[in-house]
Structure 1
Amino acid sequence: MIKLITKLLLKPLSKAVYRPSIEGLENVPRKGGVILASNHLSFIDSVVIPLTAPRPISFLAKVEYWQGTGLKGRVMRGFFDAIEAVPVRRGEVHLAQAALDSALEVLNSGKAFGIYPEGTRSLDKRLYRGKTGVAWLALTAGVPVVPVALAGTDEIQPVGTRRPRIRKVTVKFGEPLDFSHLHGQARNARVRRQVTDEVMAAIHELSGQELAQVYNEVPKAA
């Protein structure tokens, strides 16, 4: 019941409150497996994209979101089920092979999957170099990649805050990138790099972010 209520109310309610600017909806294929590759500014990105896209988009999410108890736990499970998130164990979220395999199952079933090639959020708003998991998925599944650019989501829920704020958000969906001529070359590191760089160039064209030219690594604990 919570899942149904969330699914029916969340999308229209969020659009009414935040009034996001959405461009390029026609670029998202309505059927078949497809990857949506986006820049990454905030935790809320994985909520904004599914709520603004013209079809369900699955993202990876920590399995802990499904393990809560009481009313809060039921609400969390209902919410993540409603946006069709895919649960993975902690440590797999950053595109370890097990997480990629879970994503591949989504694509092979003809669904849409969202991914952040940068691997983790950009805290300085620059666009970091993409990791090649997105290419491995596209080449293995043989599906197109739709570049996505987000702006303003880092203002909704800045790092360290618990409650979302009402801020202007822009979501741009770019034209699909077709890599069918390279299908089956997922094991070729040079090809994976080439495809990833093309995806990141398309995201950059949409977002206009400053390029960092390096990978965005998660800080190691002291």
Structure 2
Amino acid sequence: MLFINLTMVKRYNGIGQFQRKKLNSVIKRNRRITMRYGKVSRFTRIRRKIGDFILLILPILFLFIIIPPPGQETIREEKPQEEKALPQYSETNIRVYNVSEALVTEYPLEEYLIGVVAAEMPASFHQEALKAQAIAARTFALSRKEGLYSSSGSHFSASVCTESGHCQAWISKERFLDGYGGQEAWEKIEKAVVDTKGMVMIYAGKLINPLYHSNSGGITEDVNEVWAVS
């Protein structure tokens, strides 16, 4: 068809108007046919390339699925490392010597700590400050319960006492609600203790001796000069 078209083009100037129109229509039709079959050919080539790519990639994917990655079998054979159980610093009781009543009472640790925080820090303080106080109080109580540190004087078989100048201050819920704060303030303190349940301060795997004070008067001193420890 292309040869016929070229021949017709060469003779184009030597024919009449009617023949020119007929020749133009033939040329346009042949161009459409040529373009049409050219597009089909390009599509076919693209389709074949895609098919070749799929045939090439399928065996590789099959190998990844069937053959395990290197070292996977070794990992399966390794025994899991034993996790060291952390000490439980919340589900325990503590014996407390109530100085004002001259009475030793055993409390659940977390319940005791609410009374300590209520006595040592105003409920109006920021919630994060109350949490820090709860952690310090918990560490102090447990370090005494475990016998890591001790203060001078006798607690009559109790781990701690309610004297702020000796151990930690403590107040009962009834006394607190009666004259030191309302139910909302008590619940705020209780939340600080609950939110830090089990949290303690440890150094080198050992409970620290978290001695604290509310006011130093602008002067600090070596702890051994103020609070005898062993």
**More helix per residue: 1 or 2?**
2
Shared fold (TM-score, shorter chain, > 0.5): no
Q: What's the TM-score, normalizing by structure 1?
A: 0.23
Q: What's the TM-score, normalizing by structure 2?
A: 0.23
**More strand per residue: 1 or 2?**
1
